Amino acid sequence: MMGSSSVEDLDEQPNDHIVSRGWQKNFANELHQVAVLDILARRVVQRDRPIKNNFAERGFMTYVSPSGEVLRDADKAFQQIERRVLNKVREVGVRSRVTDDHREAVVQLFTIHLVRSQAFRDSQFAVLNKAEPDFVRDWPKNPKLLEKYQLHLGRLPYPGEVEALVMQWFAAQRSGGVVFESLDHSIDTIVNVLRKWQLQVVACPDSLPGFVLGDVPVVHANLALKKFGFRDGLAVGDADVIMAPISRRVLVCFSKEPRRPATITTKQSLRTLNSLTFRVARREVACHPHDGADAQRACASLEHDLPRGALLTVKAR
């Protein structure tokens, strides 16, 4: 595979952006800085963080293969997609015609950020943690496995041999295999879900503070079930809300029925939409530095601002 190196190089891995710098730039000031809120503390922790250091983790897109190769193929593929779609996504607005090319660009941007979010990785690790004890217990007694041992090795496994192999496999999965070995499947699954939905564009006027962007930038939620994102075990296909702000002033929602472009007119409408970004975020949310104080107040009133019903509807104005 391309992009390989030795495991000793891990400490020198790049500072990988979980949310692309190109996307964050749409929320930053002229110095490419954003205000950052800690959602647990519910306060602004930095008012001028450079986007080059924001929503980033060293070696996040690195996968150590079972043979010890350090691979970065997925990061290169994601960067190629970002370069291709970001300019097209920036053209989306309530006054512009949204073409199939625009919708596909949003689909691609949302998909790669869903599968490379820390929330998605956490959900995969949770599955591994739940499954490992059962595998360690059951596989040494699996009749088909014992039959293969006898056929290929002429013997049954030694005591503890199968358990060790199972634990080695789980360790390899935790080093990145659980995400990167099934990455193409994950991308195809999400792309096929999003392509079935319509796209609604929602604008926020200059008279209001702007939209906020989370470290899990794409919201997928099921309001009827009160499940928010991968953290709550929600698959993208089971969501009834899929949305994200693409800039400080423009947000896009996927919907199963066509909806006209809309412009919100009240601070409460803004807070309702931003509350979903806060709710799905893992640790931090960023916004334009001028919006930091209002975002902090909105974060503090998160539970009050979340949509009350089973559906999220942004009406055209």
Q: Taking residues 190-212, report their average pLDDT.
A: 95
| pLDDT score recorded for residue 62 | 84
pLDDT at 235 over 90: yes
Distances in whole angstroms, Cα of residue 24 to Cα of each of 18, 38, 91, 178, 226: 11, 17, 16, 27, 28
pLDDT digits (tens, 9 = 90+) for 238-269: 999 999 999 999 999 998 888 999 999 999 99
**Which of 55-64, 188-197, 302-311 is least confident?**
302-311
Q: Taking residues 17-25, report their average pLDDT.
A: 95
Residue 93's contacts (CB-CB under 8 Å, 6 or more residues apart) are 201, 203, 250
Q: Which two tokens stand for residue 170?
A: 């789980």
pLDDT digits (tens, 9 = 90+) for 82-131: 999 999 999 999 888 899 999 999 999 999 999 998 888 888 888 888 88
Nearest-angstrom CA–CA distance, 235 and 119: 12
Higher pLDDT, 177 or 171: 171
Percent of the chain scoring above 70 in pLDDT: 93
Single-letter code of the amino acid located at 82:
E
pLDDT at 200 over 80: yes
pLDDT at 59 over 60: yes
CB atoms within 10 A of CB 70: 20
Averaged pLDDT score across all residues of the chain: 89
Q: Which helix (H) or strand (E) holds 189?
A: helix 183-194
Global confidence as pTM: 0.85
| pLDDT score recorded for residue 309 | 66
CB atoms within 10 A of CB 175: 16
Going by their DSSP bridges, the two strands 250-255 and 70-71 should be labelled as unpaired
Number of residues written out for the chain: 317
Distances in whole angstroms, Cα of residue 152 to Cα of each of 22, 137, 145, 158, 257: 53, 23, 11, 14, 56
| pLDDT score recorded for residue 175 | 75
